[in-house]
Amino acid sequence: MTPYKDLEVTTDWLIREFDESINPIELMWHRDEEDRLVEALHQTDWMIQLDNRLPINITERIEIPKYEWHRLIKGSGTLTVKIHKKA
């Protein structure tokens, strides 16, 4: 079971939602098989952390190179993001 729900999916991007009731332990370090550009669709205090970097607020678009370790850090409320997949 995944810690998120995909609301909309195309070949180029997807809209993903993380519920406010998620247990932070479910937000594990992981890697993706393509470059990604992540942007929050609303004001949020959730953060993202890339490997060997300090966590940053998701206030603007964040580039995540393929195979780079990263994780979300839970904030308040629900998080909805648009993830652009780059081939």
Domain-wise residue ranges, the chain: 5-86
Per the CATH hierarchy, to which homologous superfamily does domain 5-86 belong? Jelly Rolls (2.60.120.10)
- Of 35, 31, 47, the closest CA to residue 79 belongs to 47
* pTM for the predicted model, two decimal places: 0.91
Q: How many residues does the chain have?
A: 87
pLDDT at residue 2 in the model: 87
Mean per-residue pLDDT for 12-38? 96
Whole-number Å distance between alpha carbons of 78 and 18:
6
d(CA 6, CA 80): 10
Q: What are 39-77's pLDDT values in tens digits?
A: 999 999 999 999 999 999 999 999 999 999 999 999 999
Task: Using DSSP bridges, classify how beta strands 5-9 and 13-18 pair: parallel, antiparallel or unpaired.
Answer: antiparallel
In sequence order, the 6+-apart residues with CB closer than 8 A to the CB of 68 are: 31, 50, 51
Inform me whether the pLDDT recorded for 33 exceeds 80: yes
